[in-house]
Amino acid sequence: MRTATITRETKETQIYLTLDLDGSGRSEIDTNIGFLDHMLILLAFHSDFDIKLTAHGDHENLGMDPHHLIEDVAISLGKCINEALGDKLGIRRYGSFTIPMDEALVTCDLDISGRPYLVFNADLSGNQKLGGYDTEMTEEFFRALAFNAGITLHINEHYGKNTHHIIEGIFKSMARALKQAISIDETKVGKIPSSKGVLRAN
């Protein structure tokens, strides 16, 4: 069973997350940030992960921006992915997917390498708010996810105008690439997909 559960409590956030990598795309998401909920529901659906998440942050009571909550949700999701993958025996390791979202086109390429890295090329410089979600936090979300999951992650927006469409393309392409990368290669069952014999930072 490739599952994981995390409870993360700090002075800034309280998060409960369960993850099943071999699910059917079901989700129960409640972060009190509408747009983030929408993106995580899409991530679950397109990756076929089952995700149950309840998250509360200091922005709810202190009138702050939701920076802490968005980042901590990504940290928790990354840690759960890493834990659920376990020894990573037999996984395909690499994933790549391009998503057209109306006028926007976004590609995600990733390697479950144990060497976390993020390359993020998407124009979200307008610092808009979408349903209480600060669009500039998208890069921070994927950085936190990549570094806690041990993933080399490259996200590239080829073009696009609508910020909602660009971010949705990022989440969908990431989900589809992850689905590829964590799938089991039946010809490599029981084997580490690395010539070094190990998938971790070295």
- Cα distance between residue 199 and residue 188, in whole Å: 15
Q: Which residues of the chain register pLDDT less than 70?
A: 59-64, 190-191, 193-202
Write down the pLDDT at residue 174: 98
Domain architecture of the chain: domains with CATH: 3-188 (3.30.230.40)
Write down the pLDDT at residue 138: 96
Write down the pLDDT at residue 110: 98
Per-residue burial over 168-180, b = 16 or more CB atoms within 10 Å of its CB, e = otherwise:
bbbbbbbbbbbbb
Write down the pLDDT at residue 66: 82
Give the global pTM.
0.92
Token pair for 170: 């990022």
According to DSSP, the residues that pair with 195 across neighbouring strands are none
Write down the pLDDT at residue 131: 82
Contact between residue 97 and residue 180 where contact means Cβ atoms under 8 Å apart: yes
- Cα distance between residue 72 and residue 82, in whole Å: 15
Q: Could you tell me how many residues make up the chain? A: 202
pLDDT digits (tens, 9 = 90+) for 67-105: 889 999 999 999 999 999 999 989 999 999 999 999 999
- Cα distance between residue 195 and residue 118, in whole Å: 23
Contact between residue 155 and residue 119 where contact means Cβ atoms under 8 Å apart: yes
- Cα distance between residue 65 and residue 54, in whole Å: 18
Write down the pLDDT at residue 200: 64
Write down the pLDDT at residue 11: 83
Give Cβ neighbours of residue 152 (< 8 Å, ≥ 6 apart): 110, 111, 113, 115, 116, 117, 146
Per-residue burial over 60-96, b = 16 or more CB atoms within 10 Å of its CB, e = otherwise:
eeeeebbbbbbbbbbbbbbbbbbbbbeebebbebebe
- Cα distance between residue 23 and residue 183, in whole Å: 12
Contact between residue 95 and residue 180 where contact means Cβ atoms under 8 Å apart: yes
